Chain A
Amino acid sequence: MSRRARRLGRGVALVGAGMSKFGAFADKTSRDLFVDAFNAMTKTVDKGVDTEDIEALYVGNYSSDLFEGQGHIAPIMADWVGLVPKPATRVEDACASSGVAIREGILAIASGLYDTVLVGGTEKMTNLPTEQVTDTLASASDAVYEGACGFTFPGLYAAMATAYMAKYGASVEHFMKVGIKNHNNGALNPKAQFNRSIKDLMNARIEKAKQKGEPVPYWRDELEFLKDPRANPVVAWPMRLFDCSPITDGAACILLVAEDLAGDFSDNPIYIIGTGQGSDHALNERKDLTSILASRTAAKQAYEMAGVKPEDIQIAEVHDCFTIAELMAIEDLGFFKPGEAFKATERGLTARDGAKPINTSGGLKSKGHPVGASGVGQVVEIWHQMRGEAGPRQVPGKDIRLALTHNVGATGGTCVVHIYQRR
């Protein structure tokens, strides 16, 4: 379909990245979280950034309107970090909101309009009771046709999971292994909402029962714990609680600059060499229910622009809003053949010390999923890993030169992929 090779008008570099703590914070609004993320970001700019130099803001947010009763948040975020009267734009593409905001920031710099752009994402989700969060998230699918018959957001991914199981012979245990792996990573991430392994969560449950003098549960291992409906209830079969990313408050910010200015800000900038974005139909209109066309489309564009192949990518943060979503993502990105991702996960290939580490941050599953902030949150991990600053969760034995982020909106209606290079 494409008429010519797509390339940017000029190169774009990442010179700072930071995030708020992800979690549930009763006293924090989306703007407070955004300020936390902004302050964390500015600390990572090696040579410092003067707010006067920032020319525009693009901020991802899914639904502050419904979550907080606050619409039109872009100028508020701009005001609270001191950017008024500079242009501030909110981007909404469900859970891909801030991934698409990154792309808008890149395009604005590549066009020559701006040299320095702040991109962020923020979401405050925990004010509402779970049922209302379910309703709000369900509105990111097709409300007229999917929502009307009772499909929820977890339900749509659960349906993809049953199609995947039927087509490839995967079992619920394979989904659980994705969650175990991501919690093992998140346990090492102090910014994660659940920075504990599933084994630790399981042992904490046992300890709590002992302290309270209640009957002490016994699980032989994490898999047995995850199969216990009391410990891990079904949300939408076959997706259980520990297959689903949590409801999260959080924000993240990055600073993008024109490539030729990168040295003015950073001793070790990261270059964004590929960007891609695609769309897809509602689930029922997809030819293949086990793959997301938007992901394949976005990935193809990003790989072509960057001139790299899936096998060249050393680490990736992918959109694991549900465990099945990670399996589909790493197939759609070409890291594994269709139907091979669950076997690769089982063999440990996607673990932090595996051949293709996926979601070293803990992923949305363990780090948390403040939907409109998750896309930029992924970049924060890539920034730390590529600069060798990820601390105890630093990928061992790899000089990371090429990395990728993959951010999906809702059930795949939107996907945006970026490729990063350290030179």
Chain B
Amino acid sequence: MTEEREFDSASFYRFLAEKKLMASRCKKCQELYLPPHPICSKCHGNDMEWVEMKGKGRLAAFTAVAVGPSFTIEEGYDRDNPYLVGVVELEEGPKVSGRIRGLDARKPEGIKVGTPLTVEFMEQEEGRRCFVAFKAR
């Protein structure tokens, strides 16, 4: 049962591997948290529940990374082959960080804040967890 999972990063990433983008919600004040928080920052209650996000949203901020961390270099990205990462505002309200796909990372000038996106789940690679990604819809 999803409701019994701890409100921690292990649960969040296990849900992602199951292709579910899950937020935590405070039962007392209904505030949504993504990534899931175990304690509500608004009313300070600690009775939370899991809520699945529909995965639709809009690009709120982004960048095309030319100089990435070591693991992205291993993925094959570099100055000539940058990748996009951004913050996406979901229809339900919360914003989430994720890799952005389906837009041209070599022409970031042409990418618009506000572009509609749908969640997609980066495949689990050996030794690495699945993480949040979005594609243009």
Contact = CB atoms under 8 A, between A and B. Distances in A.
Given A132-B70, A154-B67, A235-B66, A160 B61 contact: yes
B46 interface: no
B63 A131 contact: no
B132 A149 contact: yes
A172 to B, nearest CB: 9
A165 B109 CA distance: 11
A87 to B, nearest CB: 34
Interface in A81-135: 130-132, 134-135
A199 to B, nearest CB: 25
Interface in B13-36: 33-35
A284 B87 contact: yes
Contact of A238 (B34, B108, B131): B108
Contacts of B70: 131-132, 134-135
B136 interface: no
A285 B95 contact: yes
Interface residues of A, number: 39
A239 B62 CA distance: 11
Contact of B61 (A145, A163, A233): A163
Interface residues of B, number: 39
Contact of B60 (A132, A156, A289): A289
Interface string A280-316: 0011111001000000000000000000000000000
B86 interface: yes
Interface in B90-137: 94-99, 108-109, 112-114, 129, 131-133
A130 B87 contact: no
B35 A145 contact: yes
Contacts of B85: 149-151, 155, 159
Contacts of B98: 149
Contacts of A237: 63-64, 66, 82, 108-109
Nearest to A144: B9
Contacts of B65: 150-152, 154-155, 158, 236
B81 interface: no
A235 B78 CA distance: 10
B60 A163 contact: yes
Given A152-B65, A234-B66, A163 B113 contact: yes
A26 interface: no
A285 B65 CA distance: 21
A145 to B, nearest CB: 5
B132 to A, nearest CB: 6
Contact of A162 (B62, B66, B99): B62
A335 B47 CA distance: 42
A207 to B, nearest CB: 26
A237 B66 CA distance: 8
A388 interface: no
A340 interface: no
Contact of A166 (B33, B97, B113, B133): B113
A131 B108 contact: no
Nearest to B112: A166
B51 to A, nearest CB: 16
Given A131-B73, A135-B69, A285-B95, A145 B113 contact: no
B69 A152 contact: yes
A130 to B, nearest CB: 7
A284 B97 contact: yes
Given A149-B131, A236-B64, A237-B64, A283 B69 contact: no
A203 B129 CA distance: 48
A3 to B, nearest CB: 17
A286 B94 CA distance: 9
Interface in A149-200: 149-152, 154-156, 158-163, 165-166
Interface of A: 130-132, 134-135, 138, 144-152, 154-156, 158-163, 165-166, 233-239, 282-286, 289
16 contacts: A131-B69, A135-B70, A148-B131, A149-B85, A149-B133, A152-B67, A152-B69, A158-B65, A159-B87, A162-B61, A162-B113, A234-B64, A235-B67, A237-B66, A237-B109, A289-B61
Cβ-closest 4 pairs across A and B: A158-B63, A166-B113, A159-B61, A163-B61
Given A150-B83, A150-B85, A234-B64, 8 more contacts: A130-B67, A135-B69, A149-B131, A150-B72, A158-B65, A234-B79, A238-B108, A285-B33
